[in-house]
Amino acid sequence: MSVDLVGSTAFKASKKHSEPQNGSPSPAWIDEFRTFYKDFPFSVASAYDLVIRAHGEELLGEVSNRPRVWKTIGDEIIFCGRVNSVEHAASSVSAFLKALEQYSKRLEADDKPLRLKGAGWLAAFPAPNVSIAVTSDLIAGHSEAALMPSENTEDFERAADDAPSKFDFLGKGIDTGFRIAKNASEDRFVVSVQLGYVLAQAAARRKFPHSFGYHGREALKGVVDGAPYPVISVDTERSEIKSKLKSREAALTGDAAVQAHSLCDFLETFMEVANIDRPCLGEGQKAWGDEWPESYLRYQAAFNEHLEIDDANVRQIADAVDPDVPNDNSLDDAKSFLDELVPSLEDNGKLGSADSEDSSSSSRLMPF
């Protein structure tokens, strides 16, 4: 989910806010942005705690699984987090909307010409999107990358959940989120097709107390091969008189309110036509049936093939070094054997530097 300051360019350029104030050497707008970067994440965490606890036992296990800051881009803060169910996804978005409302009221009370807009989307991991460790900090004389869990493992994905700022996330699900965000506005929290589908499911179960908007379809560069993509929003209008104006205008034009079940049916059909995986939240969840998404099944097949190749390579190396050692086809035993073997060969000069790198790389890729 992303939050962006509306009107920030004009705010920074205005004479009133471009001059230093209160004895500070920096322009006055700097203090506002420092406060935003510091306080808005706190607002999200506080709102999330309240929303989750309001669900009682149903979501109590998700108290610590709050959205965390992934990165900042200019005037924008991007949050992310693993969602484990329809209810958890809906609660995470509800908390974010509450934080948007509270912080916007604070800006209005301070008579600041700034407002907030937001967007939200889903991206599936480990396929078709991927997590990449990007930190190069040193910890106690060791590269932090060396302390990171092996890629292609659940431990690696959990590390990304716990400290997303140390990772980058790449893939079409991430790209789609950045594309749809351009349609966000102060009164419109835009969502991707997949997140809209999940929120509509939650609303149909009375787990998401917000109204939806549908704004037609629009071609987005790089999204579903340029085919027109649905523009879906959650209403974030805070002004009572403006909400009244919208409803009167809708009555005049004959626009019907967007019903959750109708939105869900439409988005499900669109995902089928556009070949978009239906979201699968939480291992073993049966919300959409027993089938995993097609992208994950392809990943699983490639992963198993990779594992078999590594298994065969380990056995081949073990047999070549000592053919008398019993081979019970155990990958764990072979890996343990190699851990002891490689340093021994290096000490005896039997393994060159290139071979050393290849052997260690092979070991790191194995999901033990």
On the question of pLDDT at 368 being above 50, the answer is: no
Number of domains in the chain: 2
Give per-residue pLDDT as tens, 161-196.
Answer: 999 999 999 999 999 999 999 999 999 999 999 999
User: Which residue range is the domain that position 334 belongs to?
Assistant: 294-364
| Confidence grade of residue 342 (pLDDT, cut at 50, 70, 90) | very low
Query: Both 259 and 299 in a single domain?
Result: no
User: Residue 198 in contact with residue 89, Cβ under 8 Å?
Assistant: yes
The residues with which 230 forms a beta bridge, in sequence order, are: 217
**Do 144 and 179 contact (CB within 8 A), yes or no?**
no
Look up residue 322 and give its DSSP letter: -
- Indicate the range of 120-124, 216-220, 238-242 predicted with least confidence: 238-242
For residue 317, being part of any structural domain is answered with yes
Domain identity same for 213 and 264: yes
Pick from 223, 239, 273: which residue ends a domain?
Answer: 273
161, two tokens: 């959940």
- Are residues 102 and 243 located together in one domain of the fold? yes
Ramachandran area for residue 278 (φ above 0: left; ψ -120 to 50: alpha; else beta): beta
Share of the chain above pLDDT 90, in %: 52
Higher pLDDT, 168 or 126: 168
Q: What CATH number should be reported for the domain holding residue 196?
A: 3.30.70.1230
Distance CA 261, CA 254 (A): 20
352 pLDDT above the threshold of 50 = no
DSSP 8-state symbol, 25? S
Long-range contacts of 324-329 (CB under 8 A, 24+ apart): none
**Per-residue pLDDT band at 259 (split at 50, 70, 90):** very high
- What was the pLDDT predicted at 354? 37
| Residue 34, C-beta contacts closer than 8 angstroms, at least 6 positions apart | none
The pLDDT of residue 71: 96
The answer to whether 51 touches 96, Cβ cutoff 8 Å, is: no
pLDDT at 334: 44
Statement to judge: residues 300 and 266 lie in one domain:
no
**Per-residue pLDDT band at 284 (split at 50, 70, 90):** low
Tens digit of each residue's pLDDT (9 = 90 or more) over 51-75:
999 988 889 889 999 999 999 998 9
Domain match, 268 and 322 both: no
What is residue 350's predicted lDDT score, i.e. its pLDDT? 40
Helix axes 28-54, 86-109, angle to 10 degrees: 140
Both 9 and 110 in one domain: the answer is yes
Residue 351 is assigned to a structural domain of this protein: yes
Residues 264 and 334 in one domain: no
What is the DSSP code (8-state) at residue 351?
S
65-115 residue pLDDT tens: 999 999 999 899 999 999 989 999 999 999 999 999 999 999 999 888 899
Q: Best-predicted range by mean pLDDT among 46-50, 240-244, 306-310, 359-363?
A: 46-50
Q: Mark whether 255 and 206 lie in a shared domain.
A: yes
Nearest to 69 by CA among 94, 36, 102: 36
The DSSP symbol for 348 reads: T
Residues 266 and 208 in one domain: yes
> Is residue 243 domain-resident?
yes
Average pLDDT, the chain: 82
pLDDT value for 361: 33
Task: Supply the Cα-derived Rg of the chain in whole angstroms.
Answer: 25
Confidence class for position 37, pLDDT limits 50, 70, 90: very high
pLDDT band at 331 (very low <50, low <70, confident <90, very high): low
What number is the average pLDDT over the span 289-302? 79
